[in-house]
Every structure is written in structure tokens, then in C-alpha cells.
Structure 1
């Protein structure tokens, strides 16, 4: 298992477009992916409704946890999607 915590810097927070791409990658990878806000509320990363239900806003911390083969590579791909080029 690998995990990393990032701060969302996008003014619109984690909105539908990056959330949908995150779910697409997580669902097709065959790994266990969990997302958590700093309050500890964890949701599955392969569910768009679960991910959007977190209501991640600008400045909030988000922890991504991946378990499975080649988990580090998948984690970095997922971080890139939710953070964009300037959100890390």
C-alpha cells in the first residue's frame, strides 16, 4: 500500500471533469483505491458519486491510497489527474 496527501489548489476544488478522469483510471486499474479528506472520511476511488460527495474545495487536503501491483505508478497518475499542473 502507498499513499500520499496533496493540497487541492484549483479555485474550483475537485470538480466533475478531473473526478471523472480519476474514477476512469482507478476503475480500470484493478487496484484498491481509497480517497480521504483530512476529516478521515474515506471513499472508494472507483465511484464518481463517492468522490464528488467529499466536496473537496480549494485548500483542502486529500489523501490518495492505492493497494495493488505497480501501485506507485498508479498513485502518481491519480495525483496528476486531481492536482493538474499547478495543484500539488
Structure 2
């Protein structure tokens, strides 16, 4: 199963707006994607509520996993999203 480990760049981690942006992007992927931390098992990346339970902060590492056609592309897109400061980029949205 393809996986990507990435460090979260958003200053608030995966909370509020960054979690909403990330979960929306995950729900638009052609494959189911999970996200996990070293302290927490995998949860559906498309669920904002499950994302918030991970309590991911700025600079924390998460691992994304997906399987099936388009998994690598989905992981690349979502990893790139997490590597951006979504707090700053979408503050006027």
C-alpha cells in the first residue's frame, strides 16, 4: 500500500480551517485515503471530525496511505497540501 509521511506546515496544525480544506480535498480523491500519527492509528482523511481527534500540531509528522488506481497521485496531492501553510494561504477565504 503506497504511503507518504509529511510534516504539517500549517501554524495551527490540522485544526479548524486547515482540517476543513484537507478533508475536502481528501473526499475528492478517487481512492480512500487514511491519515495517522505515531500515537494514533489510521482514520479516514475525508472526515473532519476524525482529523480533529488526531490533535496534529504544527510540525508534526503524519502518514497518508491509499490503495488502488490513482493512489500515488492522490497521496502526492494531499502531501503537497499538508506541506503548505493553509492558515495563511486561505485566510481571506
Please state which band the TM-score falls in when normalised by the shorter chain: 0.7 to 0.9
* TM-score normalised by L of structure 1: 0.81
Q: Tell me: CA distance 1:77–1:53, structure 2 relative to 1, closer, same or farther (3 Å).
A: same
- 2:34–2:64 Cα contact (<8 Å) kept: yes
1:42 maps to what in 2?
A: 42
Following superposition, the deviation at residue 9 of structure 1 comes to: 3.6
Gaps of 5+ in 2: 86-93
1:55 maps to what in 2?
A: 55
Following superposition, the deviation at residue 19 of structure 1 comes to: 1.6
More strand by share: 1
Aligned residues: 85
Gaps of 5+ in 1: none
- 1:4–1:63 Cα contact (<8 Å) kept: yes
1:84 maps to what in 2?
A: 84
- 2:8–2:57 Cα contact (<8 Å) kept: yes
**In the TM superposition, what whole-angstrom CA distance separates every residue of 1:4-57 from its partner, at most 9, and x where no partner exists?**
111224332122222212211221223121100112421111111001111101
1-structure distance, mates of 2:58, 2:41: 17
* TM-score normalised by L of structure 2: 0.78
